[in-house]
Amino acid sequence: MMKLLNIEVNSRGEVFFGRYDIFRENGAEIYHLTSKNNPSTYPMFAGIRYFSEQTLEEAIKVAKLWHEQIGFDAVITTDEASVISAAAISQELELPGLSVDAAQKSRNKFYMRLAHQKYSAPHPHFQCCDTLDQAVAAASLIGYPVILKPTLGGNAEHTYLIHDEKKLRDIFPKAWEANQRYSYCQHDAQTILLGPNSMLIEEFLSGSEHCVEAWVKNGVAHIGSIADRISIELDTFDNDLYRTPSLLSSSKIALLQEALQAGVTAQGITHGVVHAEFRFHHDKPYIVEIAARVGGGSLYKMAQLSYGYCPIKTAYCVATNTYVQEKPLSKTGKVAVGLTMLCQQGIIKRIHIPEFVRSHPNVFNLGILAKEGDFHRRPPEGNDIFGYLGVVGDSQEQAIELAESLFASITIELE
């Protein structure tokens, strides 16, 4: 069996258990490396080690000592906040993996944009801003509306659509302070490699949005699935609602493939899986981001249902240098919808999920991130997600109606 070192700087809990199961089904013994802050409760790990300080230096030290005892075959992560750590550890252990440079360009949005700019990959105009004056000047140059977002964000945290200077002057200080107080990068192992934790002002891309699950081998990107974002456009972006399969035409998929290849080349990704987001702006695909990991929420299961493509299995195969079957992008005929469940800010007193929601035959994913006793942050404090719900239906409309009905049946009481 392959001895797989799985890196999660902070263990993600039960929502990742299905991913571990897929690794094991494909022949892996999973050894889990994480910080002491969030111990994992998954019962089938072959071993667990904790690093006492949430620093990259400490994580590497523990990994090297463990490797001397076990002899790992590969290093992997499916977690956004562990991409740099996994790359640095695989490099130290002299195992295949993403380069540290590519990991930096995939984690820090400023480094990502600089790479896109350098290699002419399609991207919005942008500027990194540390002050309100810089943000106002950048927005004036780029032209409203603009996007404000953190360089080291995740889950659309502290990300806003800004329509004018008055709104920017109101939102920027709040977003800056909130990002310094509670940033997604708190889940990363701390290291200078993370780069600046600042804010970006970007050109707003006004077209349709699409998420791609893909894999890269020898520098060549292969699309496994495409999901269409069908959310209502708001001034924040964590209200995700996706459908598969995509309704894009073959000609637009070809353009998407070109943009994806340009992006992974610019970011130096030659080996691994990617989750890429694009918007068709003036009928041309522009890169929103390309992350060196599988998609979150319900997306990887939607890829399986609607395209017969498993991003988790592919991540394992690429990491272990085993064969990945190349096949044309093809639909299975199944329609799936993935809903991001949100709730109001406050301390969660009680969560009740009716049994009919858990056991509904059309539900393929029910992942609850929130726990009773948690303080749930909402804009401008943060963008905590209550959970993810994935359902299948005979049509998009039927699936959305069911997802909304099931979510409405879940009781969330705040103190």
| Backbone φ/ψ region at 158: left (φ over 0), alpha (ψ -120 to 50), beta | left
Q: What is the pLDDT of residue 168?
A: 98
Amino acid (one-letter) located at 171:
I
Mean pLDDT in residue range 346-361: 97
Structural domains of the chain, count = 4
pLDDT in tens, 6-57: 999 999 888 899 999 999 999 999 999 999 877 788 999 999 999 999 999 9
DSSP lists the bridge partners of residue 76 as 6
Longest dimension (CA), the chain: 59
Q: What is the pLDDT of residue 98?
A: 95
Q: Per the domain annotation, does 120 fall within a domain? A: no
From 203, 234, 258, give the residue that closes a domain: 203
Shared-domain flag, residues 391 and 406: yes
What CATH number did the domain enclosing 255 receive? 3.30.470.20
Residue linked to tokens 């006492």: 52
Q: What is the pLDDT of residue 387?
A: 95
- Residue 182: band (very low, low, confident or very high) from pLDDT cuts 50, 70, 90: confident
Shared-domain flag, residues 322 and 210: yes
Q: Per the domain annotation, does 118 fall within a domain? A: no
Question: Of residues 271 and 139, which shows the higher confidence score?
Answer: 139
Q: What are phi and psi of 170, to 5 degrees?
A: -80, -45
Query: What residue numbers bound the domain in which 404 lies?
Result: 334-414
Contact call for residues 258 and 232 (beta carbons, < 8 A):
no
Shared-domain flag, residues 314 and 340: no
Tokens of 82: 């562990």
Contact call for residues 236 and 160 (beta carbons, < 8 A):
yes
Shared-domain flag, residues 188 and 175: yes
pLDDT in tens, 360-414: 999 999 999 999 999 999 998 888 999 999 999 999 999 999 999 999 999 999 9
Compute the distance between CA of residue 138 and CA of residue 14 in angstroms, rounded to an integer.
42
DSSP string computed for 380-395: TS-----EEEEEEESS
Shared-domain flag, residues 278 and 288: yes
Strand order in the sheet with 28-35: 47-51, 28-35, 2-7, 74-76
Shared-domain flag, residues 230 and 133: no
Q: Per the domain annotation, does 151 fall within a domain? A: yes
Shared-domain flag, residues 325 and 343: no
Tokens of 283: 């009928």
Compute the distance between CA of residue 97 and CA of residue 75 in angstroms, rounded to an integer.
7
Shared-domain flag, residues 62 and 29: yes
In terms of Cβ atoms closer than 10 Å to its own Cβ (0-12, 13-18, 19+), residue 401 is middle
Close Cβ partners of 13 (under 8 Å, ≥ 6 residues apart): 38, 40, 41, 369
Q: By C-alpha distance, which of 133, 345, 152, 146 is closest to 235?
A: 146
Shared-domain flag, residues 348 and 321: no
Q: What is the pLDDT of residue 347?
A: 97
Contact call for residues 96 and 25 (beta carbons, < 8 A):
no
Q: Per the domain annotation, does 197 fall within a domain? A: yes
Q: Per the domain annotation, does 397 fall within a domain? A: yes
Q: Is the pLDDT of residue 279 over 80?
A: yes
Tokens of 156: 């659309």
Amino acid (one-letter) located at 52:
S
Amino acid (one-letter) located at 272:
G
Shared-domain flag, residues 151 and 181: yes
In terms of Cβ atoms closer than 10 Å to its own Cβ (0-12, 13-18, 19+), residue 83 is buried
Q: What is the pLDDT of residue 369?
A: 92
- Residue 109: band (very low, low, confident or very high) from pLDDT cuts 50, 70, 90: very high
Q: What is the pLDDT of residue 106?
A: 98
Q: By C-alpha distance, which of 36, 80, 33, 37 is closest to 61?
A: 33
Prior bond to 380 cis, omega within 30? yes
pLDDT, the chain, mean: 95
Contact call for residues 3 and 29 (beta carbons, < 8 A):
yes
What CATH number did the domain enclosing 88 receive? 3.40.50.20
Overall pTM > 0.85: yes
Compute the distance between CA of residue 380 and CA of residue 162 in angstroms, rounded to an integer.
14
Amino acid (one-letter) located at 412:
I
In terms of Cβ atoms closer than 10 Å to its own Cβ (0-12, 13-18, 19+), residue 36 is exposed
Q: By C-alpha distance, which of 115, 114, 110 is closest to 267?
A: 115
Q: What is the pLDDT of residue 12?
A: 87
Q: What is the pLDDT of residue 118?
A: 98
Contact call for residues 214 and 223 (beta carbons, < 8 A):
yes
Q: Is the pLDDT of residue 137 over 80?
A: yes
Shared-domain flag, residues 137 and 213: no
Q: Which of 150-159, 198-207, 230-239 has the highest mean pLDDT?
A: 198-207
Amino acid (one-letter) located at 100:
V
Q: What is the pLDDT of residue 340?
A: 95
Q: What is the pLDDT of residue 232?
A: 83
pLDDT in tens, 248-274: 999 999 999 999 999 999 999 999 999
What CATH number did the domain enclosing 161 receive? 3.30.1490.20
- Residue 234: band (very low, low, confident or very high) from pLDDT cuts 50, 70, 90: confident
Mean pLDDT in residue range 203-220: 95
From 203, 225, 252, give the residue that closes a domain: 203
Q: Per the domain annotation, does 325 fall within a domain? A: yes
From 178, 203, 228, give the residue that closes a domain: 203
CA 51 to chain centre: 24
Tokens of 178: 């909130």
Shared-domain flag, residues 268 and 328: yes
Helix (H) or strand (E) holding 299: helix 299-307
Mean pLDDT in residue range 136-155: 96
